[in-house]
Amino acid sequence: MVSATVAGINNSFVGQNIITVLVTTIDSELKRLGLDEVQLMKVDVEGFEMSVLKVATTTLKINQRT
């Protein structure tokens, strides 16, 4: 996991509290959990869904429906 500091997009939270969150990828988390199949994935990341899916390449290829 990677630690990331969140201060808002375009410095919109200047002067506000800054929080640090843990960040990982879907592929890394599934590997850590020992899971090799995904039947359903709900992604709620406030408009960054495509970014999440772009780095889930291994998971999406393995679970591709034919």
- The two three-digit tokens of residue 43, written as one number: 């992604």
Instruction: Give the tens place of pLDDT for each residue, 9-52.
Output: 555 556 666 777 778 888 888 889 998 888 888 888 888 888 88
User: pLDDT band at 66, cuts 50/70/90?
Assistant: low
pLDDT per position as a tens digit, 44-58: 888 888 888 888 888
Phi, psi of 26 (to 5 degrees): -60, -45
* Strand positions, DSSP E, the chain: 2-6, 19-23
Domain span at residue 51 reads: 2-62
Alpha-carbon distances, residue 42 vs 5, 12, 26, 46, 53 (angstroms): 24, 27, 11, 12, 11
What predicted TM-score, i.e. pTM, was given to this entire model? 0.56
Q: In the chain, how many domains are there?
A: 1
